[in-house]
Amino acid sequence: MQRVARDYYGLLGVAKGASQDEIKRAYRKLARELHPDVNPDPAAQQKFKDVTAAYEVLSDPAKRQVVDLGGDPLGGGSPGGGAGGMGDPFGGMGLGDIMDAFFGGGAGARSRGPRSRVRQGEDALIPVELTLEECANGVAKDLAVDTATLCTSCHGSGCASGTRPATCDMCKGSGEVQQIQRSLLGQVVTSRPCPVCRGFGEVIPEPCLQCNGEGRVRTRRTVRANIPAGVGDGIRVRLAGQGEVGPGGGAPGDLYVEVQELPHDRFQRDGIDLHCTVHVPMTAAALGTSMGLQTLHGVEDLDIQPGTQSATVITLRGQGMPRLRGTGVGNLHVHIEVVTPTRVDARQAELLRELATLRGEEQPELAARGHNGGFFSRIRDSFVGR
């Protein structure tokens, strides 16, 4: 069966009459997105091979003429095994090498130069446990952290005392070695990091014994963390410049303190609001009362209205948590739970029966049956063991 010729123009996303510069720009853009060095997705790798084959065809006038006449110069085969034995036209070059070829990275091109041994340090993370009161009011904590710090012996140079770095003999201080490759673009000179100095352009003949040439050592130190009011579980507080010192004594990263809020014995938190439960005796709920309630901000009067039922919620405004990085304070929601006594003595039972009679709650047909059959009589018997 005859294969349908591939749409090489469509693979690159250019028009049929595109110029060589337009074709080159289109391929350069796709190569940046699809090259395996930056996109490990297998589908992207296959598409990279397809667009590479399309560029090879359309950049060759003879092969492009075959495409324009409706043919396929690669015979419809895959980029790696079609007619003409097409393999990777760039001979396994990396994305940086391909970009060098497009941007003039050939013979005589300017070198990128050695890279600095001094680099920025990484950020560090440490957890800290806080009570609800500490989250509400803010707190200053002295934390012990283990991070990389500047080597006090070499002060970041990595060299033993009295010595200094030496120029690399292999790359002569450039940090790169050049390699010549032949490709469809002709002879291309590519640069790679020097394997001896790892691209630094210099080596350390006598490393510092304290840091082994790193310019930094790991030590335990104490850091003062000022935790603002209103933080909560999972909130991270940034301490600038308190993280890891970088290689070669580079500037330190940041230290992040992650709050782990401990459970409270009375309050449950919901954002900036708090919830708690107050148990009220049956008589106090019926008659009404006032009691002192300890909140995070002091003692507040809690007014229980006569006839308060279980599941009633009383809201105390401004008695919750402060808002982090803002104004305002949340509320405290007090959930009332009316407590019914589990045991009463004979006198209490008599009073309850009298109250029930006064309120018309004693059912006449049951009360007429006497002591043994009455509803409240059975309650009394169950509590006093009669």
Domains and CATH numbers, the chain: 8-89 (1.10.287.110), 124-261 (2.10.230.10), 268-339 (2.60.260.20), 346-384 (no CATH)
The residues that bridge with 273 in the sheet, in sequence order, are 270
Residue 385 or residue 163, greater confidence: 163
pTM for this predicted structure = 0.59
Average pLDDT over residues 294-320: 94
What tokens does 257 get? Answer: 């303190």
**According to the model, what pLDDT value does residue 336 have?**
96
Quick check: 62 pLDDT over 90?
Answer: no
Quick check: 360 pLDDT over 90?
Answer: no
Of 321, 265, 328, 259, give the one whose Cα is nearest residue 296: 321
Where residue 106 falls among pLDDT bands split at 50, 70, 90? very low
Quick check: 92 pLDDT over 90?
Answer: no
**According to the model, what pLDDT value does residue 179 have?**
77
**According to the model, what pLDDT value does residue 183 have?**
65
Average pLDDT over residues 287-302: 94
Question: What is the side-by-side strand order in the sheet with 124-130?
Answer: 124-130, 255-261, 236-239
Eight-class DSSP state of 246: B
323-342 per-position pLDDT tens digit: 998 789 999 999 999 999 98
Where residue 74 falls among pLDDT bands split at 50, 70, 90? confident
d(CA 39, CA 49): 13
For residue 135, say whether it is annotated as part of any ligand binding site. no
**According to the model, what pLDDT value does residue 206 have?**
93
d(CA 30, CA 50): 11
Quick check: 127 pLDDT over 90?
Answer: yes
Distance, CA of 106 to chain centre = 42
27-36, 44-53, 199-208: which is most confident? 199-208
**According to the model, what pLDDT value does residue 98 have?**
52
Q: DSSP letters along 255-283, please?
A: EEEEEEEPP-SS-EEETTEEEEEEEEEHH
For residue 168, say whether it is annotated as part of any ligand binding site. yes
Where residue 202 falls among pLDDT bands split at 50, 70, 90? very high
Average pLDDT over residues 130-139: 95
For residue 276, say whether it is annotated as part of any ligand binding site. no
**According to the model, what pLDDT value does residue 25 have?**
87
d(CA 197, CA 200): 6
Q: Average pLDDT over the chain, rounded to whole?
A: 82
Lowest mean pLDDT: which of 73-77, 125-129, 246-250, 269-273?
A: 73-77
Residue 353 or residue 6, greater confidence: 353
Lowest mean pLDDT: which of 60-64, 81-85, 372-376?
A: 81-85
Q: Which amino acid makes up residue 370?
A: G
For residue 159, say whether it is annotated as part of any ligand binding site. no
Contact between 157 and 184 (Cβ < 8 Å):
no
Quick check: 386 pLDDT over 60?
Answer: no
**According to the model, what pLDDT value does residue 21 have?**
86
d(CA 176, CA 194): 5
**According to the model, what pLDDT value does residue 39 have?**
76
Q: Which amino acid makes up residue 97?
A: D
Lowest mean pLDDT: which of 77-86, 195-204, 277-286?
A: 77-86
